[in-house]
Amino acid sequence: MRTQRSLSVFPVSGLLAACCLALLPALTAQDPTPAQNPTPTPAAQPQNPEGATPPAAEGRRGGRARRAPVVIEAGTVHPVAGAPIENGVVVIRGDRIVAVGKKGEVEVPPNATVHSFPNGHVYPGLVDAATDAFTDDSLRNDGSNDGGSRFADDLRVQGNRNDALAAAGITTAYVTVRSPALVRGKGAIVRPTRDGFEAWSGKDAAALHLRITNGVGPSHALQRQQQVAQVDALFEGLEDFRKQLNDHEEAVKKYDKEFADYLAWHQKKKDGDKPAGGGGGGAAAPAGAGGPTGPGPAREGRPTRGRPGPGGEGGGGGGEPPKNDPQKTPQEQVSPEQLEQALATLLAALPQDPPKPAPAPAPGPQDPAKQDPQKPAEGAAGPAAAAEKKDEAPKRPTYPKAPPRDLQREALLAVIDGELPLRIEAHRADEVRGALKIGRDRQIPVLVLEQAFGADACAAEIATAGVSVVLTDTMAGPFEPPYEAMNPAKVPAKLHAAGVPFALASGRAHLAALLPLLAATAVGNGLPADAALRAITLTPAEILGIAQDTGSLQTGKFGDLVVTDRPLFATDSRILMVLAKGRTEFEAK
Amino acid sequence: MLRFPLLGITLVCALLPAQDKATAYKNARLLPGGQPPIENGVLVVGGGKVLAIGGADTAIPAGAAVVDCAGKTITPGLVDASFRASNSADMNENGDEVTPHLRVLDTLDPDHRSFARARAAGVTAVHVMPGSRNVIGGLGCVVKTFGTDPRAMVLKEDASLRITMGSEPSQENRPIRGGGVDSIYYRRPTTRMGVVWEVRRAFFDAKAAMEQTAGAPPAAPNPGIEVLTRVLKGQLTAVTTARSEQDLRTALRIAAEFGYRTILEEAQDAHVVIDELVAAKTTVMLGAPSATVVAGSAGGDGADPRSATVRLLADRGIPFVITTGSNLQSLDLVREAMFAVRNGLSATRALDAITIEPARLLGIDQRTGSLAVGKDADFVVWSTDPLDPASVAESVHIDGLSVLALR
Amino acid sequence: MERLLPVRAGRAAPFVSFAACLCLLSPSRAQDIVVTAKKVVLATDAVLADGAFLIRQGKVAFAGTDIPTEARKKATVIDYGDAVIVPGFVLPPTTLGRDRDLAEASLPFTPDLRAIEAFDPWQEELAKLPAFGVTSLLLSPSPRNIAGGIGALVKPGQDNGVVATAEVHLALSLTQVARNPERPPTSLMGAVDMLRSAFTMAKAGTGGGPDVAVLRSALGGSRRIVIHADLHVELAAALDLAREFGFEPVLVGAREAEKVLPRIVAQKAALVLEPLRPEQRQAQLRLPTLLAEAGVPFCFGGRADQLRTSAVLAVRAGLDRKAALQALTRTPAQLFDQHTVVGSLRAGCGADFLVFTGDPLDLTSAHVATFIDGVRVFGEAGNAPKPHNAAAAAGAR
């Protein structure tokens, strides 16, 4: 059905499509840009506001029918999920993989664009579980970040070679920085493209970062203990904060109801006094100014909690106050300005009709009990009931005072609720244990450790805790040897042996092209090769929570793949082609 | 960055064949240097040399590429007779106070941004001297402003010997007090008197060596003494950096005492010692006449610079050239000439003072400094009259090669 | 062999005699050893499949089919199964972290000092080298002096270091660290002049002290002249000196070598490059490839732990694998005229070799063992070939 409609809409010019978007909010779920550009180039830009479409919707949209299916044939296909396939074929339709298998056993669409690499190797697009690409020095060195910071807000193409992630075969990257801040902020998942990156819809705040380490320098054990305590202390008082938020939410609900009653009373009064339609005209004014100008796209935060503003939950937050009043149409509560305008019209009409004009606006200020800002709702509730009996005007309710915004605590609440994974950078074994203890004590549902080179001593504990690990700087040799006691190059093998899920990540944008070599180094230090491959594809996808969409060559996932001329881990293997969502992001000349 | 030199080399290689082909620039106003201007002139270059220059009727060889320069002015490539290049740490050998035999050519970095800046300002040849931290700094050289190998850029090796008067050579030296002498800065002249004494001693030694050589062969060859001997014999030009009145007088006095000729460089206070300059028939390399502060790291050498100095020199017939010198405030060379014009110098004199005059002074006028048949094709195409404040060097050619686009 | 004898009998006697004791004590040295592996790289142009070589008295005596049957029978066999054996890496001029002992601070010009005097056979850094595949190194005076002195070829032994060749190259320097602001020369100009004066004197005749004599003999071809130079100007100055005094220099550091590449080629200079780092720009990583194409001999210097990765990065940037392995082994040996002693597994060379589970230039290959003079100094013993991930690595391909 949707396909039908979109097909009828998309041939129209971009301007018209934009108008349609403005008029029909329902259409926002569809991304018109790719369809306008069937050739795979600037289709997705980071600025694209439509990037926020849920992945499920993208699969169904019309773009799929417009682009010819892509078929990659290669000597060996490494799906990661499953054994390598000799003479394999990957079929991509739209932006998803529709078939993976042996040549001859897979149906190849007749109109498909076929890329054939008889000696080539095909791998899933690499997933870099930590990179600082698209960030600048100011962000990397910012010690003043806190839990409210979102790196997604400060990403841009830096215009240097470090941005060439797509050419290095990385089709998904998690952007974070190693700033000196204790709470570093929220990292974002991006999809690097030929000329920049696009945001991964809904993953612009993909994890919260904490640091329990002073990095590579020598430190005192006591100092490290204090650091653990400091991080632990962040979680103090969160329940009080949650209560404040919930109380406020309740209060807002109450306010909404009372305000609706208040409006309804006056509306009724007005309708009763002027049945001819003067009231209708007044009511029509705000609706006529119309259009869905009020609630913008959902703001940052969780939809379950109250918002400090009459805008309410916006388009996405269904089932909220407006639904409580069946008489209201959506247009009536769209904008505070319009409400004010409507109210002014009503109030202007009021004094003419009731026998006692003064009481209506007056009672509020005159009654000191009702002025109490702490209990505006209760103060209004009693007299309102009384007024109902006497058919007196209900008092106009006061909007409840919001508790002060604390983005860091909101983020930490999200962590506790399991909505946001928590990533803790910890190096030495005692730091790792500290992180695990915090995870246990504070019952953090999704915990990911970064670095964790001390895993030598506590791999089993990490495994028991069910925590996954992201490792960077594991390529011994070209890095400074910071850890005399811990050999970063050996850690992957140890984690693997202990059964800890781990990802190998570049950590730095300029190392992006070496991601396969990082994995190769781990192989040279005892990690099985298939586990190393998994550690730069499927495991990071799982850690990032996007394994349903990428990380392996499986039907239904995005068409993200890398073609190399030699096995990926060979030093001189060259990347021949990179596809992301079926689009060519890199092709060797 | 590493890529660019190779790119440059590649470009040079790519352009070399084109260079062999003659190119004619016509309809331009030609200021050949030392000659009257030619309106609607034609300049033909090929093989890195000037092939022909003349009025509109000059024959353009068949097959030559023709560039129409209507409304534009062509001058010879400018010659900066005192130019700061590279980092001063490598141009000052602090190991000794008198280092006449050190060659600045050894430390010349053709990639240094100062050369790029000079090229962009239409300067095609520069005289580089060792830094001014030593009493006798060493041998200066004249190079073109474009090239990859410093040796290949050389117009004249051993072009001058730099002597510095004033407070700079003694500036950082400290007198020995007590023990703990662990630095070479504890043994130099710490005063102006000491500086003069060093110069005098050096030339005295050289003179003694010369006289002794007449009799018996010397014990050990001393390259420093050899250089000083060449100065005394008049085979090498001495350039004495002096700014204040006292230093200028001292420079002239010592030169007279030992009987060598010297050029006075910087010469901030030249207007005070005009009579002495006239008497000594000395050439002046006037450093940055536009500057409003005194040059030199020591500061405070001399009185306030006078903008009218340049006209005074011209009026009294003292030969001079205009340079950018070591003044950090200096403008581009052509702008310094413009400044001189504003202070009463004739335009012709001003332009000569940054082209043919310095070329003659440095002994490179056979190859560059003016536009004449057979000379190197070093020239600049200006958007308008070069002494106009709005003029821009639109293309700069060194040996016929357009160098603005390179590196 | 002949080369070594006078040295061993000479000034390095204390170390040598100690090493000799070890030789006698160690059973593996007393007897012939045959080492076999699936692939034996004797030198980059001599590769044996299912190869073997025979070690006698710490040296390679025979290789491949040259091994006499009789000797083979009597010898102890060490089998490394599927592994790949390559010659040990040679680390070009280094001070091994002993700058204090290898830079004479009181004088800038000390060509007659010998690095070997500062060699501490029990130095900790030596013991770490086999783990990085380094089996011999050129201990060199520090580049902090304009003329540092004479370097030596030493090896990290089983317990302590041993001297292979006491006097190898003459180390000069024009780098920034050599231009010390506290003593002359403080500038490049002065540094060049200092060398030029000395070379002039050396060339002039018989005058001058022992320092000039060293320069004179080096100019006469007795030893390689090594000049530390990084920047364009320093390299240009070094090449100027080489041209003026007619020698073919080995340039160490050579960060901006690309800028003077034509001159390097023309003057037959060789380069010891700084180790490559992954964060370097592609242009820098491509330098080895450019040099190989231009036919300039080069090797990697600097830190031992970065030798292998430097070669790997160079291969990733386009360098031929053979040339990369050569840069780790044969080239440094040849540049310092030590190729008859180290750098390959040809008969007569020291039995210094490394065992990898695969190509050493693939990081997937694990470093299994290091042998120096036929003695295992790092890693796992043979006969129990443990390419622990060979099967897995095969699976990945």
- Say if residue A425 is in the same domain as residue A501: yes
Q: Which sign, positive or negative, has the C-alpha torsion A567, A572, A576, A580? A: positive
Contacting partners of chain A (3+ CB pairs under 8 A): C
pLDDT (tens digit per residue) in A191-205: 999 888 999 988 888
pLDDT attached to residue B406: 67
For range B99-113, the mean pLDDT:
89
Minimum-distance CB partner of A533 among C275, C309, C396: C396
Distance (Å, whole) CA A29 – CA A12: 18
- Say if residue A210 is in the same domain as residue A222: yes
- Say if residue A62 is in the same domain as residue A84: no
Nearest chain C residue to A518 by CA distance is C363
Of all residues in chain A, what percent carry a pLDDT higher than 90? 37
- For residue B156, pLDDT beyond 50: yes
Fill in the DSSP letter of residue A545.
T
Beta-carbon contacts of residue C134 (< 8 Å; ≥ 6 apart): C88, C89, C90, C91, C156, C304, C307
The minimum CA-CA distance between C181 and chain B, rounded to whole Å, is: 8
Q: Which domain covers residue A164, as residue numbers?
A: 126-236+421-550
The minimum CA-CA distance between C259 and chain B, rounded to whole Å, is: 6
B1 vs C contacts (CB less than 8 Å): 283
- Say if residue A462 is in the same domain as residue A391: no
Instruction: Tell if the CB–CB gap between C197 and B183 is shorter than 8 Å.
Output: no
The CATH number assigned to the domain holding A105 equals 2.30.40.10
The minimum CA-CA distance between C363 and chain A, rounded to whole Å, is: 5
Task: Considering only residues A41 and C236, tell me which one the structure prediction assigns the higher pLDDT.
Answer: C236
For range A334-355, the mean pLDDT:
59
- For residue B2, pLDDT beyond 50: no
Classify residue A143 as left (phi > 0), alpha (psi -120 to 50) or beta. alpha
Task: Considering only residues A217 and B60, tell me which one the structure prediction assigns the higher pLDDT.
Answer: B60
pLDDT range class, residue A337, cuts 50, 70, 90? low
The torsion angles phi and psi of A519, rounded to 5 degrees, stand at -65, -40
Is position A407 within any domain?
no
Instruction: Tell if the CB–CB gap between A530 and C396 is shorter than 8 Å.
Output: yes
- Say if residue A382 is in the same domain as residue A283: yes
Instruction: Tell if the CB–CB gap between C183 and B91 is shorter than 8 Å.
Output: no
Tally of domains in chain A: 4
A528 vs C contacts (CB less than 8 Å): 389, 392, 395
Nearest chain C residue to A493 by CA distance is C389
Is position A307 within any domain?
no
- Say if residue A498 is in the same domain as residue A449: yes
- For residue C371, pLDDT beyond 60: yes
For range C198-217, the mean pLDDT:
86
Is position A42 within any domain?
yes
- For residue A286, pLDDT beyond 90: no
Task: Considering only residues A140 and C47, tell me which one the structure prediction assigns the higher pLDDT.
Answer: C47
The minimum CA-CA distance between A417 and chain C, rounded to whole Å, is: 39
Contacting partners of chain B (3+ CB pairs under 8 A): C
Is position A487 within any domain?
yes
Task: Considering only residues A475 and A13, tell me which one the structure prediction assigns the higher pLDDT.
Answer: A475
Closest CA to C25 of C17, C14, C33: C17
Domains detected in chain C:
31-88+344-396 (2.30.40.10), 90-335 (3.20.20.140)
Of all residues in chain B, what percent carry a pLDDT higher than 70? 85
Best to test chain C binding among B2, B143, B149, B185 (most C CBs inside 10 Å): B2
Distance (Å, whole) CA B68 – CA B381: 11
Contact between C213 and C138 (Cβ < 8 Å)? no
For range C39-49, the mean pLDDT:
91
C188 vs B contacts (CB less than 8 Å): 90, 106-107
pLDDT attached to residue A145: 79
Task: Give the lowest-confidence range in A6-15, A180-189, A376-385, B29-38.
Answer: A6-15
CA Rg, chain C, in Å? 21
pLDDT attached to residue C252: 94
pLDDT attached to residue B298: 53
- Say if residue A445 is in the same domain as residue A472: yes
Write out the DSSP string of A188-254. EEEEEETTEEEEPTT-SS-EEEEE---TTS---HHHHHHHHHHHHHTTTTHHHHHHHHHHHHHHHHH
**Exposed e or buried b for every residue in B282-299, given b needs 16+ CB within 10 A?**
bbbbbbbbbbeebbbebe
Number of H helices, E strands in chain A: 21, 16
Using the 3D structure, point to which of A124, A139, A158 is the last residue of a domain: A124
- For residue B89, pLDDT beyond 70: yes
At A532, which helix (H) or strand (E)?
Answer: helix A529-534
pLDDT (tens digit per residue) in A340-349: 666 666 666 5
The CATH number assigned to the domain holding A195 equals 3.20.20.140
pLDDT attached to residue B291: 79
Beta-carbon contacts of residue A92 (< 8 Å; ≥ 6 apart): A69, A70, A71, A72, A98, A559, A579, A582
pLDDT attached to residue C383: 66
Contact between A548 and A58 (Cβ < 8 Å)? no
Task: Considering only residues A172 and C24, tell me which one the structure prediction assigns the higher pLDDT.
Answer: A172
Best to test chain C binding among B1, B10, B13, B90 (most C CBs inside 10 Å): B90
Distance (Å, whole) CA A489 – CA A505: 13
Is position A558 within any domain?
no
| Cβ contacts from A onto C, under 8 A | 92
pLDDT range class, residue A483, cuts 50, 70, 90? low
Of all residues in chain A, what percent carry a pLDDT higher than 70? 66
Contact between C54 and C62 (Cβ < 8 Å)? yes
pLDDT attached to residue A389: 57
Instruction: Tell if the CB–CB gap between C312 and A517 is shorter than 8 Å.
Output: yes
pLDDT (tens digit per residue) in C301-342: 888 888 998 999 999 999 999 999 999 999 999 999 999 999
Distance (Å, whole) CA B27 – CA B67: 9
Question: What ipTM was estimated for this complex?
Answer: 0.82
pLDDT range class, residue A428, cuts 50, 70, 90? confident
Instruction: Tell if the CB–CB gap between B184 and C237 is shorter than 8 Å.
Output: no
Report the C-alpha dihedral over residues A15, A19, A24, A27, rounded to 10 degrees: 10
Q: Which amino acid makes up residue A202?
A: G
Minimum-distance CB partner of B149 among C183, C192, C263: C263
Highest-confidence segment of A302-316, A556-570, C97-111, C123-137: A556-570
- Say if residue A396 is in the same domain as residue A434: no
Nearest chain B residue to C197 by CA distance is B223
Q: How high does pLDDT run on average in chain C?
A: 85
pLDDT attached to residue B218: 56
Minimum-distance CB partner of C189 among B9, B107, B150: B107
Task: Considering only residues A54 and A584, tell me which one the structure prediction assigns the higher pLDDT.
Answer: A584
C395 vs A contacts (CB less than 8 Å): 84, 528-530
pLDDT range class, residue A448, cuts 50, 70, 90? very high
pLDDT attached to residue C366: 92
Sheet with A561-564, strands from edge to edge, namely A96-102, A85-93, A70-77, A113-124, A561-564, A575-580, A583-587
Instruction: Tell me whether chains B and A touch (3+ CB pairs under 8 A).
Output: no
Beta-carbon contacts of residue C337 (< 8 Å; ≥ 6 apart): C168, C223, C224
Q: How high does pLDDT run on average in chain A?
A: 75
- Say if residue A361 is in the same domain as residue A448: no
pLDDT (tens digit per residue) in A499-548: 999 999 998 888 888 899 999 999 998 999 999 999 999 999 999 999 99
Peptide bond into A516 cis (omega under 30): no
Which tokens sit at B185?
A: 């800065």
Task: Considering only residues A299 and B304, tell me which one the structure prediction assigns the higher pLDDT.
Answer: B304
- For residue A251, pLDDT beyond 80: yes
pLDDT attached to residue B373: 92
pLDDT (tens digit per residue) in A275-285: 554 444 444 44
- For residue B82, pLDDT beyond 70: yes
Instruction: Tell if the CB–CB gap between A478 and C313 is shorter than 8 Å.
Output: yes
- For residue B210, pLDDT beyond 70: yes
Which tokens sit at A84?
A: 């390598």
Closest CA to A554 of A200, A100, A93: A100
Distance (Å, whole) CA B90 – CA B103: 11
pLDDT attached to residue B238: 94
- Say if residue A130 is in the same domain as residue A119: no
pLDDT range class, residue B213, cuts 50, 70, 90? low
pLDDT (tens digit per residue) in A108-129: 888 999 999 999 999 999 999 9
Task: Give the lowest-confidence range in A316-330, B367-381, C122-136.
Answer: A316-330
pLDDT attached to residue B220: 63
- For residue C203, pLDDT beyond 50: yes
For residue A166, the number of C-alpha atoms closer than 13 Å in the C-beta half-sphere is: 23
Q: Does C124 touch chain A (CB under 8 A)?
A: no
C388 vs A contacts (CB less than 8 Å): 526
Minimum-distance CB partner of C192 among B106, B183, B184: B106
Task: Considering only residues A97 and A163, tell me which one the structure prediction assigns the higher pLDDT.
Answer: A97
pLDDT attached to residue A458: 87
Minimum-distance CB partner of C282 among A161, A478, A569: A161
- For residue A88, pLDDT beyond 60: yes
- Say if residue A231 is in the same domain as residue A275: no
For range A552-577, the mean pLDDT:
94
Domains detected in chain B:
3-76+376-402 (2.30.40.10), 78-362 (3.20.20.140)
- Say if residue A103 is in the same domain as residue A192: no
The interaxial angle of helices A238-273 and A376-390, nearest 10 deg, is 20
For range A441-454, the mean pLDDT:
89
Classify residue B201 as left (phi > 0), alpha (psi -120 to 50) or beta. alpha
